[in-house]
Amino acid sequence: MLVRSVHAVEQADSVCLPILSVPVSAGFPSPADDHLQSELNLQDALVHHPAATFFMKVEGYSMTGCGIFSGDLLIVDRSLDPVDGAVVIAVLDGEFTVKRFRRSKGQVLLAAENSDYPPITVQKGMDFYVWGVVTFVVHGLAT
């Protein structure tokens, strides 16, 4: 799964939207009274380190098992260190890719979340580094 484009977060791009105080039920319906609580600033909610956060557009299907699909928008924080199991943006041989970061016994593995794509074991001599950690996925729903 490749990353198609990279965009920096800009402070002026802040948008505040109304937020309801009542949680939405994913089971049985709950009463839909007027529960407008306040406003939610999407940048404050999704971007914790603005100077180190970027938006990246996804292209490909290797991460569908964890809910990342082609066309999705990733929010990537470059200030975070990758931990085992994190979804990361890696640079491998000069190309961006999004994969699950696995570290075991001193070895790094980049795992897909789709069985059609084999894991990549990072070998000595490979041009590899973790560019950032994916913190959120923005996924549109078909209508």
Q: Please report, for the domain that includes residue 80, its CATH number.
A: 2.10.109.10
* Tally of domains within the chain: 1
Nearest-angstrom CA–CA distance, 51 and 77 = 9
**Residues ≥6 apart with Cβ < 8 Å to 39:** 16, 17, 18, 19
Q: Residue 70 sits in which domain range?
A: 2-10+49-138
Within a domain: 90 = yes
Which of the residues are catalytic? Answer: 62, 99
Within a domain: 63 = yes
Within a domain: 27 = no
Within a domain: 15 = no
pLDDT digits (tens, 9 = 90+) for 5-26: 666 666 656 666 666 666 666 7
Contact 41, 15 (CB under 8 A): yes
pLDDT digits (tens, 9 = 90+) for 36-83: 567 778 888 888 888 899 999 999 999 999 999 999 999 999 999 999
User: The whole model's pTM is what?
Assistant: 0.79
Within a domain: 65 = yes
